[in-house]
A and B are shown apart, each in its own frame.
Chain A
């Protein structure tokens, strides 16, 4: 396809718009009054957002999602980078077994852990808490596996020069490896953040208290409050849906390249 052919370009753009039309229209709808929506007229308003954020507590859900996804990303990256460094640079007894156990988590479906993790957290009194949402999500070997491959590509001479200067392992990791591996770490961070932001089944299981809902659970509940189809306040639901989509959408527009690379890395899974 050549972009110089304006006809093809217009056709392609039209196809792209058509493809995204449900989401684009849902965003449009979220700025319309209920009456305008049902009568097919146009009447802009922000009242759906005011209702979603205030009355329906989506400001709180947004905060919960930011806290949980942010913590999972930071803790996940920290433990994964340390483990990746150990696996890439050290030859130690048991190391291969540990690395194998880490990689094997990539093929283990998370649903096998659903019931036992629920029981564990119930026993620890961590249901309905941030810790209950965050801790199980750290148990993922993917970032460690990927970063290990990346770190192995960094010349050892760089580490050794730093050791000569009297640095210890943590200093080498922090001052030599992390700055060089930054693009890979950033991509992984995005990947973890988005996966966790969109996580649904675990918060659904682990959270019962309304004020601990994440956006995903809150949105599903809001839509399900009135299952009788005709009474759904669609503009309100779409405002809530837009709030749920928007942070990732904005992030996507900012760092599309990093993200696509992160996902392509995900393909080695």
Chain B
């Protein structure tokens, strides 16, 4: 019996050394165990305990955690704060995602060639998506600061007055959308480039032979053929928008007057500054259900249509 068959230990039954055989049978379990231990301890058990805590009332300190049924959910769904956070998050997603994707696709079609200019541009555009979000938020806090910021300085050159970018409830969310788009654009472009490379060039040639103008070719050939990529990015970006926290925490803390209070920001506030574990957990469970639904939608609808492996 060769050791090679041990790769499928269940198929062969006889081995002279029973002890080694047992060890070999156990091999895959031993190999997978460390990762599964971590996943169980820090992902699956916590999901169950979030669910459990969401039915209880607790403040981190008191010795008892009385069962309160659906009260935490009821309180949340009745609160203006929750619906405000949902609204802000939805606006953020609905406005930022389509604009970003359209821009990313337009730029990606121009950066297909392997010239040094387009390589450099791809690098420059991609850089923010691997850069620290905190640092980006800090830098843009300066860009949009009222008195010494870059934006108001530029407005000043044109003789325009100061804008209170982050203090005006009408504007603050747009600033966050801008910053988040600036950071994520490069990622979208890279994914679009992968999608565009999969389109056979003959299709472009055929379209241009037919006398199609550039925009026509873009609309009739490029856009429909990268649709799977677009769906993929759309769902990914909406999921990501529902988890935005860092730029909110650093730039606005959810203010002014709740104008930028997105869901995870509310979760952090309720759980870790108000120490309302029950409601914080209920909020986490609602977010979880929403995002799982989106993820299931993604894998059901998109299935294996979008697949990048280099």
Interface segment, one of B36-44, B75-83, B88-96: B36-44
Q: Contacts A248-B131, A249-B131, A265-B308 known; A108 to B288 CB distance under 8 Å?
A: yes
- A234–B100 Cα gap in the complex (Å)? 30
Whether the Cβ atoms of B39 and A139 lie closer than 8 Å is yes
Interface segment, one of B168-176, B198-206, B218-226, B241-249: B241-249
- A233–B270 Cα gap in the complex (Å)? 31
Contacts of B142 in A (CB 8 A): 22, 26, 234, 237-238
Interface flag for A128 (CB, 8 Å): no
Whether the Cβ atoms of A3 and B115 lie closer than 8 Å is yes
Whether the Cβ atoms of A90 and B111 lie closer than 8 Å is no
B240-289 interface (Cβ within 8 A of A): 242-243, 245-246, 249-250, 264, 267-268, 271-272, 277, 280-281, 284-285, 287-288
The one of A3, A115, A166, A215 in contact with B113, judged by C-beta atoms closer than 8 angstroms, is A3
Contacts of B4 in A (CB 8 A): 159-160, 163-164
- A85–B121 Cα gap in the complex (Å)? 38
Contacts of B239 in A (CB 8 A): 109
Contacts of A19 in B (CB 8 A): 124-125, 182
Q: How many A-B residue pairs have CB under 8 A?
A: 292
Whether the Cβ atoms of B308 and A267 lie closer than 8 Å is yes
Q: How far in angstroms is the closest Cβ of chain A from B205?
A: 17
Whether the Cβ atoms of A264 and B307 lie closer than 8 Å is no
Interface flag for B150 (CB, 8 Å): yes
Whether the Cβ atoms of B130 and A90 lie closer than 8 Å is no
Task: Fill in one digit per residue for A240-259: 1 if any B CB lies within 8 Å of its CB, else 0.
Answer: 01001100110010001001
Whether the Cβ atoms of B43 and A139 lie closer than 8 Å is yes
- A164–B24 Cα gap in the complex (Å)? 15
Q: Tell me the nearest residue of chain A to B120, going by C-beta.
A: A16
Q: Contacts A90-B27, A248-B131, A264-B191 known; A111 to B138 CB distance under 8 Å?
A: no
Q: Tell me the nearest residue of chain B to A159, going by C-beta.
A: B7
Task: Fill in one digit per residue for B125-147: 1 if any A CB lies within 8 Å of its CB, else 0.
Answer: 11111111111111111110111
Interface segment, one of B46-54, B66-74, B207-215: B46-54
Interface flag for A223 (CB, 8 Å): yes
Whether the Cβ atoms of B31 and A23 lie closer than 8 Å is no
Whether the Cβ atoms of B28 and A86 lie closer than 8 Å is yes
- A215–B10 Cα gap in the complex (Å)? 50
Task: Fill in one digit per residue for B1-33: 1 if any A CB lies within 8 Å of its CB, else 0.
Answer: 011101111100000000000001101110110
Interface flag for A269 (CB, 8 Å): yes
- A17–B39 Cα gap in the complex (Å)? 43
Q: How far in angstroms is the closest Cβ of chain B from A175?
A: 14
The one of A82, A107, A238 in contact with B35, judged by C-beta atoms closer than 8 angstroms, is A82
Q: How far in angstroms is the closest Cβ of chain B from A178?
A: 13
Q: Tell me the nearest residue of chain A to B37, going by C-beta.
A: A79
Interface flag for A197 (CB, 8 Å): yes
Contacts of A3 in B (CB 8 A): 113, 115-118
Interface flag for B155 (CB, 8 Å): no
Q: Contacts A16-B125, A108-B292 known; A219 to B42 CB distance under 8 Å?
A: no
Interface flag for A12 (CB, 8 Å): yes
The one of A12, A79, A108, A216 in contact with B134, judged by C-beta atoms closer than 8 angstroms, is A216
- A132–B307 Cα gap in the complex (Å)? 35
Interface flag for A59 (CB, 8 Å): no
Contacts of A138 in B (CB 8 A): 35, 38, 42
- A258–B246 Cα gap in the complex (Å)? 26
Most chain A CB inside 10 Å of its own CB: which residue of B32, B281, B299: B32
Q: Tell me the nearest residue of chain B to A17, going by C-beta.
A: B124
Q: Contacts A216-B132, A264-B194 known; A169 to B31 CB distance under 8 Å?
A: yes
Q: Tell me the nearest residue of chain B to A144, going by C-beta.
A: B35
Interface flag for A220 (CB, 8 Å): yes
Listed by A's residue number, 10 A-B pairs whose Cβ atoms lie within 8 Å are A22-B142, A89-B28, A111-B243, A160-B7, A163-B7, A169-B31, A237-B138, A248-B130, A263-B190, A267-B308
Chain B residues engaging chain A, CB cutoff 8 angstroms:
2-4, 6-10, 24-25, 27-29, 31-32, 34-36, 38-39, 41-47, 49-50, 53, 110-111, 113, 115-118, 120-143, 145-148, 150, 182, 187, 190-191, 194, 232, 236, 239, 242-243, 245-246, 249-250, 264, 267-268, 271-272, 277, 280-281, 284-285, 287-288, 291-292, 295-296, 299, 306-310
* 16 extra interface residue pairs, beta carbon distance < 8 Å, beyond A109-B243, A205-B272, A238-B138: A1-B115, A92-B25, A102-B35, A107-B295, A109-B242, A113-B42, A115-B53, A116-B47, A116-B50, A139-B38, A140-B39, A167-B3, A169-B24, A219-B132, A219-B134, A219-B138
